[in-house]
Amino acid sequence: MTVTFRQPLPLLDNDILRTFVAIAETGNFSTAAEVVFRTPSAVSMQIKKLEEQLKTTLFLRDARSVTCSGRPRPFPCRSRSLRNS
Q: What is the pLDDT along the chain (85 residues), one digit of tens a residue?
A: 566 656 776 787 889 989 998 998 898 999 999 999 999 999 999 999 988 988 888 888 888 778 887 665 545 555 454 555 4
| Residue 38 in domain | yes
Res 74: pLDDT: 47
**pTM of the entire predicted model:** 0.72
Q: What's the structural domain count of the chain?
A: 1
Res 85: pLDDT: 47
Exposure letters 27-45 (e unless 16+ CB within 10 A, then b): ebbeebbebbebeeeebbe
CA distance 54 to 39: 23
User: Residue 78 belongs to a domain with what CATH number?
Assistant: 1.10.10.10
